[in-house]
């Protein structure tokens, strides 16, 4: 466990290193499954940035005189696992894109919190160069998050909602107000996906 703030910072950096590595594996899957081209491009460009984040963390280990290494980040693993449930479910079209964005933004916010904390601790410890390197990554995480919001609020959410409306008018939504529960949400998404198949080609 961490005795000092410097130890705690090193733990955070190890956690982030592992989280970024996990993302370099999950972002290609998300990009491959995205149906919206702009979303796919945004995920691919963030994958390239994420590889840069790993490189920056390697530099941070060097500045801290620490061996490069990660510590399993259970937080990011959980976020990725939840996101991959959507990819495995029978969800398609704009609804799938909306769910991919939701998962991507969870990952970004997790990272933004961890980088924010690490930067504040590095500053408190007088580690200016470390704080600056981490700050460059934080800015890219924020920009990626904003880009995802813009894509969702630009078209994708509206398209996903219109898929739902088409579904309702088909009278297929027997369960109109389910309690939030994974099984029911999955069946609602499947139902929305079926409807999006019908409306493809608009």
95: closest CA among 175, 199, 196? 196
Q: How far is the CB of 16 from Fe ion (least distance, A)?
A: 8
Q: What is the 3-state secondary structure (H, E, C) of 31-72?
A: HHHCCCHHHHHHHHHHHHHHHHHHHHHHHHHHHCCCCCCCCC
For residues 122 and 128, give the distance between their C-alpha atoms in angstroms, rounded to a whole number. Answer: 7
**Beta carbon nearer to Fe ion, 46 or 189:** 46
CA angle at 102 for the pair 97 and 104, rounded to the nearest 5°:
90
Residue recorded with tokens 């990009």: 31
**Beta carbon nearer to Fe ion, 91 or 122:** 122
Looking at 64-125, list the stretches that DSSP marks H as alpha helix, in order from N- to C-terminal side: 74-88, 93-124
Within 13 A of 71's CA, how many CA atoms are on the CB side?
A: 10
Q: How far is the CB of 149 from Fe ion (least distance, A)?
A: 17
**Beta carbon nearer to Fe ion, 99 or 138:** 138
For residues 202 and 193, give the distance between their C-alpha atoms in angstroms, rounded to a whole number. Answer: 15
State the number of binding residues for Fe ion (CB under 5 A): 3
By rule CB under 5 A, what string of x and - marks binding of each residue 11-50 to Fe ion?
A: ---------x-----------------------------x
Site for Fe ion in 50-89 (CB under 5 A): 50, 53
**Beta carbon nearer to Fe ion, 47 or 161:** 47
Q: How far is the CB of 119 from Fe ion (least distance, A)?
A: 14
Q: How far is the CB of 45 from Fe ion (least distance, A)?
A: 12
**Beta carbon nearer to Fe ion, 116 or 162:** 116
Residue nearest to Fe ion (CB): 53
Residues engaged in binding Fe ion (CB under 5 A) = 20, 50, 53
């Amino acid at each position: 466990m961490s005795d000092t703030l410097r130890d705690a910072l090193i733990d955070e950096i190890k956690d982030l290193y592992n989280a970024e590595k996990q993302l370099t594996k999950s972002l290609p899957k998300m990009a491959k499954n995205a149906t919206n081209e702009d979303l796919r491009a945004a995920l691919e460009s963030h994958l390239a940035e994420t590889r840069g984040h790993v490189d920056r963390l390697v530099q941070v280990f060097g500045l801290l005189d620490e061996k490069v290494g990660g510590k399993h980040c259970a937080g990011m693993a959980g976020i990725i696992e939840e996101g991959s449930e959507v990819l495995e479910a029978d969800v398609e079209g704009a609804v799938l894109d909306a769910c991919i964005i939701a998962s991507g933004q969870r990952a970004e916010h997790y990272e933004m919190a961890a980088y924010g904390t690490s930067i504040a601790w590095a500053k408190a410890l007088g580690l200016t160069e470390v704080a600056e390197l981490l700050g460059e990554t934080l800015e890219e995480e924020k920009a990626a998050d904003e880009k995802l919001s813009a894509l969702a609020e630009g078209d994708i959410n509206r398209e996903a909602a219109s898929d739902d409306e088409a579904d309702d008018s088909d009278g297929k939504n027997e369960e109109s107000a389910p309690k939030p529960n994974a099984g029911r949400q999955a069946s609602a998404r499947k139902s929305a996906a079926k409807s999006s198949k019908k409306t493809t080609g608009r």
